[in-house]
Amino acid sequence: MNKMKIKYFSGFILLLIFGGMLTQCTEREEFFPIDPNKLTIVTAQVNGSNLNDQDEGIKVDAAFTLVFSKPVNSEMAASKVELLTNGTATELGITFNDNKSVMALTPSDSLEFEAPYTLRISSGAFGANSELLENGFELNFTTEIEPKPLFAGGDGTEMNPYQVETAEQMEIVRLFLSSYFVLNADIDLTDFVGADPQGWVPIGVLGEGFSGNFDGKGFTVSGLAIDRTDINEVGLFGVLEGNGSIRNLNVVATGVSGGQATAALVGRQLSGTIENCHAAGSITANNSRVGGLVGSQEAGLITKCSSSCGVFAELSRVGGLVGLSQAGTVSESFSSGNCESLSSRVGGVVGSVEEGATVTDCYSTGNITARNRGGGAFGRLDGTASRVFATGKVTITDADASGDYPGNVVGQIGGTGSASDFFYPNDQVISYGGGADITTEGTPTNISNFLCASPNGLFPNFNFTTVWKCSADGSWMILAWE
């Protein structure tokens, strides 16, 4: 009886052991194919996580990985893989690990937001030793929804522009350089930039400037502080380009310091439009092309704008409104701030007007200080300027016998320069101790003879219907939009 129990018990133990072995074999066959002529895909992953069919919310910056059970022929395996959206193939960068069993797939560009994609690999004999992948696969997934910017409203289109109401929202304008914006409130940047000793980071750089449309709606951005003398293109906006526009915006700079192309509103205007914008505050630079409103205007339009900024620069081309106008247009604008440079080409409206530039219907009332080539409105004029007056004091600090070019309205007129309808007070002060002649281009005018009832008596070619008007007290003239 005891022998039979031992016999049965021994048989039961053998059955358990044998059954366990069968189980282990089954598991090994599932994960490690025994057939040497077959190839399988162990896992498909995206960004380190398993990718399943019909997954949603896949990041647009995606990287895919396919793990094979055996090494593969990399060239043949790569030819079997596709990533498609709406029937269009996405270009892929494909690499393999050392033993060619792991394939990494990286799209050349970010995927589209909220779009259907299919990752597909076809079957075929592309193992390293021609092992067959019997079953390819097709995984379908959808990418994430595009994150919405944290503006007060809008979608960035012309019909529904982004709405900017806070310093934080003004900061993220730089992430949407080609969009439309409206300012719905005054913004004070003081606290926002206070934590950074270099202050505000200009919006837009060369090669990636602001090409959108920003409508300030007459509101003011104040507390603009920048101390970045190690970089160029410095201002609230660093670079304006393309068909970009900035309109109806006031800027108050508590202190803006930069390198070449520095101003309160736009450091460098490559093109586009600046209209009805006004700047106040202090601008300094250790380089050239420095202005109250715009540092360097290389093309485009500036119209119905003003600056009361005090401007100081170490080098040349310094203006109360614009430092340099190369091939742009400046019209119906004025400056009332003082300008000073340790170098040359300093003017109340534009420091240097190049051959391709045009300035019309502008004036300046600020004082000018330059080493040489200083004028009430322009330091040097090589382009075209008409209907301009300047009333500020002009000081030339150099005392050489010649070549200093002090002037009432313009310091020096180049060979291509064209000046018409220039005016200045007959008692305008020119402080100069050298022996060079003063450039008196224009007409000295006794301001006390101005009559509001008949302004064209003193200024026959000025348009007092739509461009100019009498000041409130009737003693002088200002622009019609003021």
The tokens for 355 are 């051959």
pLDDT for the residue numbered 27:
38
β-bridge pairing 301-303 and 273-275: parallel
- The fold adopted by the segment(s) 38-143 is Immunoglobulin-like (2.60.40)
List of E strands, 326-393: 329-335, 339-341, 344-347, 350-353, 358-364, 368-370, 372-375, 378-381, 384-390
The mean pLDDT value for 417-432 works out to: 97
pLDDT-derived band at 386, boundaries 50, 70, 90: very high
Residue 102 has pLDDT above 50, yes or no: yes
Nearest to 65 by CA among 83, 79, 80, 49: 49
Question: pLDDT tens for residues 282-330?
Answer: 999 999 999 999 999 999 999 999 999 999 999 999 999 999 999 999 9
pLDDT for the residue numbered 128:
93
Residue 353 DSSP one-character state: E
pLDDT for the residue numbered 18:
35
Question: pLDDT tens for residues 140-177?
Answer: 999 999 877 789 999 999 999 999 999 999 999 999 99
The residue among 15 and 471 whose pLDDT is bigger is 471
Q: What is the dihedral angle through the alpha carbons of 461, 445, 341, 358, rounded to the nearest 10 degrees?
A: 10
For residues 321 and 263, the answer to whether their CB atoms sit within 8 Å is no
Residue 5 has pLDDT above 50, yes or no: no
Question: pLDDT tens for residues 196-205?
Answer: 899 999 999 9
pLDDT-derived band at 36, boundaries 50, 70, 90: confident
- pLDDT mean across residues, the chain: 91
Residue 21 has pLDDT above 90, yes or no: no
The secondary structure element, H or E, covering residue 152 is: none
Phi/psi-derived region of residue 21, left when phi > 0, alpha when psi is between -120 and 50, beta in every other case:
alpha
Residue 25 has pLDDT above 90, yes or no: no
pLDDT for the residue numbered 31:
42
pLDDT-derived band at 401, boundaries 50, 70, 90: low
Residue 465 DSSP one-character state: T
pLDDT for the residue numbered 6:
37
Kindly give, in sequence order, each residue whose CB lies less than 8 Å from that of residue 8, ignoring residues fewer than 6 positions away.
none
Nearest to 274 by CA among 249, 234, 247: 247
Residue 11 has pLDDT above 70, yes or no: no
Please provide the CATH number assigned to the domain covering 162-479: 2.160.20.110
The mean pLDDT value for 238-246 works out to: 98
Q: Which of 38-47, 223-232, 256-265 has the lowest mean pLDDT?
A: 38-47
**What's the first-to-final CA gap in the chain, in angstroms?**
121
Nearest to 264 by CA among 232, 237, 296: 237
- 473-478 long-range contacts (CB < 8 A, ≥24 apart) are 475/447, 475/450, 476/447, 476/450, 477/450, 478/334
Residue 15 has pLDDT above 80, yes or no: no
For residues 277 and 266, the answer to whether their CB atoms sit within 8 Å is no
Size of the chain in residues? 482
For residues 193 and 225, the answer to whether their CB atoms sit within 8 Å is yes
pLDDT for the residue numbered 54:
96
Distance, C-alpha 158 to centroid of its chain: 18
Nearest to 201 by CA among 152, 239, 163, 247: 239
Q: Which residues pair with 479 in a beta bridge?
A: 468
- What is the pTM for the complete model shown? 0.73
